[in-house]
Structure 1
Amino acid sequence: MDHDVPNGSLTLNPAQRALVEDLLSRCTFPAAGTAVRCAVSGGPDSMALVALAVAAGCAVTAVHVDHGLREGSAGEAAVVRAAAQRFGAAYESTRVEVGDGPNLEARARAARHEALGPTALLGHTADDQAETVLWFLMRGTGPTGLAGIDPERRPILGLRRAETVALCAALDLDTVDDPSNEDPRFTRNRIRRELLPLMADIAQRDVVPLLANAARLQRELLDEVGPLGDHLDPTDARALAAAGRTVAIAALHRWWCETTGLAYTPDARATERMLEVARGEAPRHDVVAGWSLHRRDQRLRLEPPGRGWRRLDGRS
């Protein structure tokens, strides 16, 4: 793991400052002086995240995670380090290994979130939100999926991707192009490149704000309903089996996100498998991204990919 201490500064001309102030008015960064870790891949969204976090007065550490999945990853880390030094942010890099198994994208995401930890800020935008809602719909999602990306730890969720690109251009920032973002084998890429433009053409309007707003309204509803399951211990199989289906699912999904660090919940089929384990109809089931749910002595446990047992409440 590499570390750098801050040795740069964020200097803006009047035009740049006006742009930054406009963008910050739609962001949700913590108070000035707050220490934050920003996940920075080198793409425009994450580079805008670290620049805006510095402009917001946060004490920023830019964290780069190298999955080692493609050539040129060392060059990507150098781009992030240079930006961190320029903006007066600390820099940290770490390399992770992605285990074998299906769904490489999900496994890489899980490894990245584990390396970043539960408090790192992430550079998702409104465009990511729209893509996520559609992706969940295509997976047969339930109410949680319709709420899309949780805005917590995502301070630039109110910005558009075009705005992060424009900010990087205005600041003359080098950015990294991830070739996997153009790979049609990934459903999300086809949603971005094919489905969203088609929907906009049919609707004769930009549908990204509509989808992002729908996700916000659904999350507000979940925030009202979610506390109904707060009394449930999600490791107690009997309590889950005895609870109402909606409440049990809400409890499982909430702890799933807290435990795995993933921004998405299991789809309808995977959720049903989790309920089967809770009801005692199966001793274990694979869930998603290499995680599996197990039942032993009326207690539920989540097993991470390639790791030992880990309970949902964090105790071993």
Structure 2
Amino acid sequence: MRLPETLAVLAVRHAVREWSTGLPPAELQVAVALSGGADSLALTAAAVAEAAAVDALVVDHRLQDGSDEVAAVAAATARSLGCRSARVLPVEVTGTGGMEAAARTARYAALDAARAGLPVLLGHTLDDQAETVLLGLARGSGARAIQGMAPSDGPWGRPLLSVRRATTRQFCADLGLTPYEDPHNSSPDFTRVRLRTEVLPLLEDVLGGTAALALARTAEQLRADNGALDEFADELLSRAGSGLALDCAVLGAAAPAVRRRAVRAWLLAQGVRGVAGTHIRRIDELVVAWRGQGGVAVGGGVRGTRLVVVREHGRLTLARTDRER
């Protein structure tokens, strides 16, 4: 399909081309997560124009009546745009953390299982990035949350993080495509929707239309800063032990931001799940404010046991204790 050379079409195509820099178009093969919305439709069409082969993956969350028909239409549209293949992936949305989190987990698992070794392009835009940064700020989740989404993250690619949502909508209008409007995306029951429809518009009005751009720029700067801090933390771990025990004297001599990052990386490497800021702060007290206090319980123990970080003989260790005790 030959695409018109409008401003919106060229902007989206340029974003995809920039994301794939270093790989000739003749060799570029990708999968695209297609929901049928404007962002993923524009991404799919641009990817077809810029890559040698594109496989569309349409996740059917089965949360609404008629979702199978929506998925089928999206797959048919993908084929008409020139995708090499288009598959519908039905999923079961279950689990804790709310419907949004459960749907996200099911979606990513299905995409990962179906991608056949290809990178998967996701239609996240600059506006999505701004919303993610605001959520991280509101939750006090630290620099990792505020850094937002990365353009490339394992098998996931996000070429449109520099593209506004209005541009993808104009792209679809220029091609005569009718995006699917998911009712969940306008429901005030979801925090992200209220950020999108109430908070960000107000910020844009107050700040003269620069809020989303500024938030996205903040995320980009923080990703660079976090990358440097991660390198410092890795070096600290190599000196402190990085195995089953860490030397508190070595940790205590480091800058707090580096020390806490190193401890977090150590916990994750030991199989600890759900490392929270409260855990890190209390473990940090074991290192720099030692008063003989007890250990810090963290997640990850097998049934009937729990993992506890304790200080013994000047070293942090991870112990497995009876949960009832």
By the TM > 0.5 criterion, same fold?
Answer: yes
**Which structure is higher in RCO with an 8 Å CA cutoff and minimum separation 6?**
1
For residues 44-86 of structure 1, the C-alpha deviation after alignment (integer angstroms, 9 at most, x for no partner) is 1111111111111241111111121111211221222122111
Which residue, out of 156, 159, 164, partners 1:155? 159
For residues 208-259 of structure 1, the C-alpha deviation after alignment (integer angstroms, 9 at most, x for no partner) is 11111111111121122222234659x9563498856634654647997xx9
Which aligned segments of 4 or more residues in structure 1 are displaced greater than 6 angstroms?
253-256, 274-279, 296-300
1:21 maps to 2:3: no
Q: Give the structure 1 partner of residue 245 of structure 2.
A: 238
Task: Tell me the distance in 1 between the aligned counterparts of 2:86 and 2:10.
Answer: 24
Q: Give the structure 2 partner of residue 263 of structure 1.
A: none
1:101 maps to 2:108: no
Q: Give the structure 1 partner of residue 314 of structure 2.
A: none
Which residue, out of 189, 196, 212, partners 1:192? 196
Which residue, out of 10, 29, 38, partners 1:35? 29
Q: Which moves more between the two structures, 23-32 or 184-193?
A: 23-32
Aligned residue type for 2:146: L
Q: Is the 8 A contact 2:8 2:170 kept in 1?
A: no
Q: Is the 8 A contact 1:19 1:167 kept in 2?
A: yes
Q: 1:254 to 1:216 in 2, by over 3 A?
A: farther
Q: Which moves more between the two structures, 23-32 or 70-79?
A: 23-32
Gaps of 5+ in 1: 1-9, 260-265, 287-293, 301-316
Q: Is the 8 A contact 1:29 1:53 kept in 2?
A: no
Q: Give the structure 1 partner of residue 210 of structure 2.
A: 206
Task: Tell me the distance in 2 between the aligned counterparts of 1:39 and 1:99.
Answer: 20
Q: 1:220 to 1:273 in 2, by over 3 A?
A: same
Q: 3-state SS of the aligned residue for 1:25?
A: helix
Q: Which moves more between the two structures, 22-31 or 36-45?
A: 22-31
Q: 3-state SS of the aligned residue for 2:150?
A: coil
1:112 maps to 2:107: yes
Task: Report the Cα offset of residue 276 of structure 1.
Answer: 6.5
Task: Tell me the distance in 1 between the aligned counterparts of 2:247 and 2:111.
Answer: 31
Gaps of 5+ in 2: 287-294, 310-316, 320-325
Aligned residue type for 1:37: A
Q: 1:254 to 1:204 in 2, by over 3 A?
A: farther
Task: Tell me the distance in 1 between the aligned counterparts of 2:197 and 2:69.
Answer: 27
Task: Tell me the distance in 2 between the aligned counterparts of 1:246 and 1:92.
Answer: 45
Task: Report the Cα offset of residue 114 of structure 1.
Answer: 1.5
Task: Report the Cα offset of residue 187 of structure 1.
Answer: 0.9
Q: Give the structure 2 partner of residue 91 of structure 1.
A: 86
Task: Tell me the distance in 2 between the aligned counterparts of 1:161 and 1:254.
Answer: 39
Task: Tell me the distance in 2 between the aligned counterparts of 1:173 and 1:249.
Answer: 49
Q: Give the structure 2 partner of residue 146 of structure 1.
A: 146
Task: Tell me the distance in 1 between the aligned counterparts of 2:205 and 2:176.
Answer: 33
Aligned residue type for 2:41: M
Task: Report the Cα offset of residue 156 of structure 1.
Answer: 1.1
Aligned residue type for 1:184: P
Task: Tell me the distance in 1 between the aligned counterparts of 2:37 and 2:265.
Answer: 29
Aligned residue type for 1:79: V
Q: Is the 8 A contact 1:133 1:145 kept in 2?
A: yes
TM-score with structure 1 length normalisation?
0.74
Q: Is the 8 A contact 1:144 1:222 kept in 2?
A: yes
Task: Report the Cα offset of residue 22 of structure 1.
Answer: 3.4
1:220 maps to 2:224: yes
Task: Tell me the distance in 2 between the aligned counterparts of 1:125 and 1:95.
Answer: 25
Task: Tell me the distance in 1 between the aligned counterparts of 2:247 and 2:42.
Answer: 42
Task: Report the Cα offset of residue 295 of structure 1.
Answer: 3.7
Task: Tell me the distance in 1 between the aligned counterparts of 2:79 and 2:247.
Answer: 49
Aligned residue type for 1:134: L
Aligned residue type for 2:108: H
Which structure 2 residues correspond to residues 253-268 of structure 1 after superposition, within 5 A? none
Q: 3-state SS of the aligned residue for 1:80?
A: helix
Task: Report the Cα offset of residue 178 of structure 1.
Answer: 0.9
Q: 1:224 to 1:63 in 2, by over 3 A?
A: same
Q: Is the 8 A contact 2:13 2:46 kept in 1?
A: yes
Task: Tell me the distance in 1 between the aligned counterparts of 2:168 and 2:267.
Answer: 32
Aligned residue type for 1:26: A
Aligned residue type for 1:182: S
Q: Give the structure 1 partner of residue 72 of structure 2.
A: 78
1:272 maps to 2:274: no
Q: Is the 8 A contact 1:79 1:174 kept in 2?
A: no
Q: 3-state SS of the aligned residue for 2:87?
A: strand
